[in-house]
């Protein structure tokens, strides 16, 4: 678990301002991952693929791979 800091909230606001349709909870998740230099963000929400710099893996795609 990672804390939601003021820096995370600022980055989340920046992401919301630059990525159309990105919802606040998703922006907070993405900002937390980015600011903490997470190597891989695993989700089934393809919307995260639009976040620059966020190395995103779609769980269904990973599980479907041979």
Question: In 3-state terms, what secondary structure has residue 60?
Answer: helix
Domain boundaries along the sequence of the chain = 6-64
Which residue has 């393809």 as its token pair? Answer: 46
pTM of the model: 0.92
Question: In 3-state terms, what secondary structure has residue 17?
Answer: helix
In the chain, what are the helix, strand and coil shares in percent, each to the nearest 5? 55, 10, 35
Query: How much is the pLDDT for 65?
Result: 86
* Tens-digit pLDDT profile for residues 38-55: 999 999 999 999 999 999
């Amino acid at each position: 678990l990672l804390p939601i800091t003021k820096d995370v909230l600022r980055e989340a606001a920046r992401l919301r301002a630059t990525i159309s349709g990105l919802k606040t909870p998703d922006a907070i998740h993405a900002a937390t991952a980015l600011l903490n230099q997470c190597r891989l963000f695993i989700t089934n929400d393809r919307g995260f693929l639009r976040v620059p710099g966020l190395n995103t893996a779609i769980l269904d795609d990973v599980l479907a791979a041979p």
